[in-house]
Amino acid sequence: MWFKNVRVYKLSAPLSTDTAVWEQALAEFKFSPLSAQEAVRTGFSFPLHASVKQYCHACQHLLFFAVKRQEKILPAAVINEEMQPKLEAMEQEKGRPLSRKEKQSLKEELQLSLLPRAFSRSTLTQGYYDPDNQWLVINSGSASKAEDVLALLRKALGSLPALPWLDNTKLTTHLQLWLQNQALPQGFDLGADAELKAPDEEGAKVKFSNHLLSADEVQSHLQHKLVTSIGLEQPDRLSLAVTDEGALKRLKFHELLTGQNDELGWDDLVARLDADLLLMASTVNQALSAIQQQVNSAAE
């Protein structure tokens, strides 16, 4: 429910805000369990709770969705153990070592035969569409997983003109300033974590955790390195790390914030989840707006 990492995309054209349109579109690509011979399958699931059979959940002006991914787990060690005797038998039969292509073919056949016996693992990735800001916000720290979600949305909705939400050149400039405790986004303080990397071929890296970032030993790295990640904090609200890709990672919501809806209790599960979802998204949106406004401003 409370997002841990965020990938944000800016839409160049608005999407429909009709929940009925979304519901019908997402339902056509709903999740169904893997068959015995399938390795992976994705589809839309229920974003609020399994008891709420809605593929699109409207929370004020925000539209929430979720993508479920199920995959078979075939550890490399298991495959290798099963493959070795078959490999040796085939080489003995042919009287020569197998070629790379033959080994790959054997491995693929073995994987296919093992799939019906393999355990499966499921993951749920939530996201929401904010029509006011034209953002798609995906709860994932992985660019590839977020792109998979966008690809499925594109299939369902027919069009999804999604672009990076921040200009990388401007962002790089501001990351350097933020580490110097300058021109921070409104409402944010400098955190205690940072990562830097040299822009040359060797790409020397340095990482600081729970460190005083104003210390000379940290600031001296700005002469030869670029900031690739930096921690920011909103007192009594949340902390996060902004990366040079424009991702927000390691979101941690303060207990004073997460406890705001405690008076609602849990007797009405749906009402409580809905309230928490809105609180979480509103907090994330405020952070995104502050960061976007500062990055888009002229660097001092």
Strand, helix or coil for residue 29: coil
Q: For residue 120, what are the contacts with CB-CB under 8 A and spacing of at least 6?
A: 33, 34, 70, 71, 72, 73
Domain edges within the chain: 7-74+118-164, 76-116, 168-296
**Tell me: the pLDDT tens digits for 25-37?**
999 999 998 887 7
Percent of the chain with pLDDT over 90: 70
Measured in whole angstroms, the distance separating CA 223 from the mean position of its chain's CA atoms is 31
The C-alpha atoms of residue 135 and residue 287 are separated, in whole angstroms, by 13
Q: What's the confidence (pLDDT) of residue 186?
A: 93
Block residue for tokens 């005083």: 212
Helix extents (H) in 52-165: 76-94, 100-114, 143-157
Measured in whole angstroms, the distance separating CA 284 from the mean position of its chain's CA atoms is 14
Strand, helix or coil for residue 124: strand
User: Global pTM?
Assistant: 0.85
Q: What's the confidence (pLDDT) of residue 124?
A: 94
**Nearest-10 Cα torsion for 74, 249, 15, 60:** 110
Is 184's pLDDT higher than 70?
A: yes
Strand partners, 248: 6, 242
Mean pLDDT of 174-187: 94
The C-alpha atoms of residue 193 and residue 245 are separated, in whole angstroms, by 17
The per-residue DSSP string of 141-197 comes to: S-HHHHHHHHHHHHHHHS---EEESS-HHHHHHHHHHHHTT-SPPTT-EEEEEEEEE
**Tell me: the pLDDT tens digits for 65-103?**
999 999 888 778 888 888 888 888 888 888 888 888 988
**Tell me: the pLDDT tens digits for 265-284?**
999 999 999 999 999 999 99
CA distances from 124 to 19, 70, 149, 275 (A): 21, 9, 11, 20
Is 191's pLDDT higher than 80?
A: yes
Read off φ and ψ for residue 163, nearest 5 degrees.
Answer: -130, 165
**Tell me: the pLDDT tens digits for 243-267?**
999 999 999 999 999 999 999 999 9
Is 300's pLDDT higher than 60?
A: no
The C-alpha atoms of residue 285 and residue 182 are separated, in whole angstroms, by 22
pLDDT-based confidence at residue 111 (cuts at 50, 70, 90) = confident
Is 159's pLDDT higher than 60?
A: yes
Q: What's the confidence (pLDDT) of residue 242?
A: 96
Count CA within 13 A, CB hemisphere, residue 239.
15
Closest CA to 229 of 251, 214, 244, 210: 244
Q: What's the confidence (pLDDT) of residue 92?
A: 86
